[in-house]
Amino acid sequence: MLEDRDYMRDQSGAIRWSMTTIIAVILLVVFALQCINQAYLHTNAEYWLALTPGCLRYGWLWQLITFQFLHANLWHLAGNLLVFWWVGRFVEHVLGTKRFLIALFGCGAVGGLLQAVLMLLAPDRFGSIVVGASAGVSGLFAIFALLERNSTVRLWFVLPIRAITLLWILGIISFFFTIVPAQGESVAHAAHLGGLLAGVAWMKLGWHRDYVRLPWEGLVARWQGWRPFGTRKRPRELVKTASVKGSKWPVRSDSDADLPSGEFISREVDPILDKISQHGIQSLTDRERRILELARNKMAKK
């Protein structure tokens, strides 16, 4: 949503935490509760919340989400938090809060589902319990790498490597150890592979763009517009506008500011968001920045 974007939020007032920061804090709190449970309470809560074969065998589908909040030890948590903080802030800025959350936990659920299927089919090779946020974090990294293909990242904080190259390396490693699982391996490679594939699919389907509806959004819109006993409106014809030579982005009249909020956003704001997704917010002209400010004011008056 437009109001999810950092550059469309009201900059006055109290400091707001990003969703990346909030989730990082939640992961720390949950790990602290895990430690307390293991030291004093000794309940079987982790068994019910971690990913187990029961997820598919008994229909415990909530585990596809809850296992992403648990971690095996402090180093496991630290590694996931480090990568999550690194890529999460960028991806949240590009996708907006709503789509960021769907991407994070959706990729994690896809990775968890692949791991759960393999645990059910071959528990001796793929284990019987999985925890960790790495499947969702893998999906976020795939989104980051496809958005910033030529960005240089530091592997192990030392080796410089292109983001897209690292994505291929991680994908090959995860695929190999999924089909050839090592004995005694404690890494859920299948979950990583599923998360990476889900992140790639997210980008290929164009779901990182605001104007591309998520599947259920289209279903809801069609259901809301379904009037079996009403009169059908004649669809409006599309009108082509003349392009301005030398500029890829259309320039529109300021009179469009008088349009209704929904039409104004679809005609004026969506192309600007598309431009930000491709070239960054620094590429905007003064006029485009004024349009974004006007859109924010329109939303504030709703």
Q: How far apart are CA 2 and CA 291, in angstroms?
A: 13
pLDDT > 80? residue 243: no
Q: How far apart are CA 178 and CA 174, in angstroms?
A: 6
pLDDT in tens, 174-197: 999 999 988 777 899 999 999 999
Q: How far apart are CA 59 and CA 102, in angstroms?
A: 22
Helix-helix angle 134-147:163-179, to 10 degrees:
140
pLDDT > 70? residue 288: yes
Instruction: Calculate the alpha carbon distances from 11 to 5, 8, 14, 15, 276 in Å.
Output: 12, 9, 9, 9, 19
pLDDT in tens, 56-97: 999 999 999 999 999 999 999 999 999 999 999 999 999 999
Residue 82 bridge partners (DSSP): none
- Assign domain 18-204 to its CATH architecture: Up-down Bundle (1.20)
The DSSP bridge pattern shows strands 152-155 and 159-162 to be antiparallel
Q: Lowest mean pLDDT: which of 5-14, 32-41, 98-107?
A: 5-14
What is the average pLDDT value for the chain, to the nearest integer?
Answer: 84
Q: pTM, whole model, 2 decimals?
A: 0.72
User: Per-residue confidence at 7, pLDDT binned at 50, 70, 90?
Assistant: low
pLDDT of 151: 92
User: Per-residue confidence at 221, pLDDT binned at 50, 70, 90?
Assistant: low
Residues of the chain with CATH 1.20.1540.10: 18-204
Local structure of 73: helix, strand or coil:
coil
Question: Residue 214 — φ and ψ, nearest 5°?
Answer: -75, 155
pLDDT of 68: 98
pLDDT of 292: 79
